[in-house]
Amino acid sequence: GPFRQAPARKGALVDARGVSSIETRRMLLQYAEALCAKRLVLASASPRRREILSNLGLKFDVVVSKFDEDLDKSQFPSAADYAKATATHKALEVANRIEKEEEEGSTPFMIVGSDTVVEAPDGTIMEKPGNDEEAMRMLLSLQGVTHQVHSGVGIVFPDPARPDSKLVKSFAETTRVTFAPLQEAEMRAYIKTGEPFDKAGGYGIQGPAGAFVSSITGCYFNVMGFPVHKFASKLSTMIEEGEVKL
């Protein structure tokens, strides 16, 4: 629908539904204390995801997923669907492993998996570059144009009463990122830092490559690796509607 201005706190961003982002964050913050009393698991080794989630006041145990991330990209209608499926597989692998290994009474409240991919303007799905040449090819295809970053999230809520039944929720978020035109020397210097190699698309917006980005449309944290606004909003709604019990 059309963008409606709604009364909001000074400095609050207002989205199309007239809900300020501060309010959405407060929606989850009112549950943060109750959530901190539960065991929360992050199925990711990414320090960036851990940092983004800890900014919400949530404490997570990190159990790195062993899922191979080898899904056939051609089987998915979009790059966002591919990221969402990979994220869900990561969370389910950890949930199933915890179920087998854990003692009674330590069932997590939820396991969160996430996967971020960069979609080049020609539709190619980019993951992490394997070497300098691959990183250079990725940066060359992104410089001077707008690309999309998709983060998928899969959340598994185990039911301690019924080990075989799990509630699984997944979603994806997309941000459009525009790079300024870059000189080859800049790209080579960036690759030399070693930064591109653990990052989808060969760059991290929160590091030196932030200087390459002339604009973004959408969630900044999504580009970092976790769509925190959408996560907070989805989880709050599930708690409010009684879909999950705190």
Sorting pLDDT into bands at 50, 70 and 90, what band is 230? very high
Q: Which two tokens stand for residue 112?
A: 């969160």
Catalytic residue among 115, 132, 159, 198: 115
Q: Calculate the average pLDDT of the chain.
A: 88
In the residue annotation, 72 being an active-site residue is answered as: no
Q: Which of 4-8, 100-104, 131-135 has the highest mean pLDDT?
A: 131-135
127 DSSP assignment: -
The model's pTM: 0.86
CB 180 within 8 A of CB 190: no
What gap in Å lies between CA 241 and CA 167, rounded to an integer?
A: 14
Q: Which is more confidently placed, 17 or 217?
A: 217
CB 151 within 8 A of CB 114: yes
Whether residue 3 is predicted with pLDDT greater than 70 in this model: the reply is no
What gap in Å lies between CA 34 and CA 60, rounded to an integer?
A: 13
Burial of 222 (0-12, 13-18, 19+ CB in 10 A): buried
Mean pLDDT over 28-41 rounds to: 90
Q: What is the pLDDT of residues 178-196, one digit of tens each?
A: 999 999 999 999 999 999 9
